[in-house]
Amino acid sequence: MNTNLPVQSPDQNIVATPERRKGHYWWRVLLITFGLYLAGIVIMVFTGNPLLFPTIAMLGNFMIPVTYVAFFYERRHLSQLTLPAIFLGFLAGGLLGVFVASILEPLFIQKLTFLTAFQVGFIEEFVKILGVLVIARRWAHDSEVDGMILGAAAGMSFAALESMGYTFTALLSSGGSFSATVGVTLLRGLLSPLGHGTWTAILVGVLFRESKAGHFRINLKVIGTYLTVAILHGLWDGLPGLIGAFTGSGLDVFISQSLVGLVGIFLLWRRWREAVRLQLAQINPVIVESVG
DSSP 233-285: HHHHHHHHHHHHHHH-TTTHHHHHHHHHHHHHHHHHHHHHHHHHHHHHHHHHH
Task: Give the predicted TM-score (pTM) of the model.
Answer: 0.85
Is residue 6 pLDDT above 60, yes or no?
Answer: no
Higher local confidence (pLDDT), 19 or 44? 44
pLDDT classification of 143: cutoffs 50, 70, 90: confident
Question: Which pLDDT score is estimated for 22?
Answer: 55
pLDDT classification of 247: cutoffs 50, 70, 90: low
Cross-strand pairs, 13: 8
pLDDT classification of 289: cutoffs 50, 70, 90: very low
Is residue 13 pLDDT above 50, yes or no?
Answer: no
pLDDT classification of 290: cutoffs 50, 70, 90: very low
Residues 52 and 173: their CA atoms lie apart, in Å, by 19
pLDDT classification of 12: cutoffs 50, 70, 90: very low
Torsion of CA 274, 275, 277, 278, to 10 degrees: 120
Give me the chain's average pLDDT, please. Answer: 84
Question: Which pLDDT score is estimated for 250?
Answer: 62
**Section 226-235 average pLDDT:** 96
Is residue 251 pLDDT above 80, yes or no?
Answer: no
CA-closest candidate to residue 73, choices 139, 137, 24, 142: 24
Cross-strand pairs, 7: 14
Cross-strand pairs, 56: none
Question: Which pLDDT score is estimated for 249?
Answer: 61
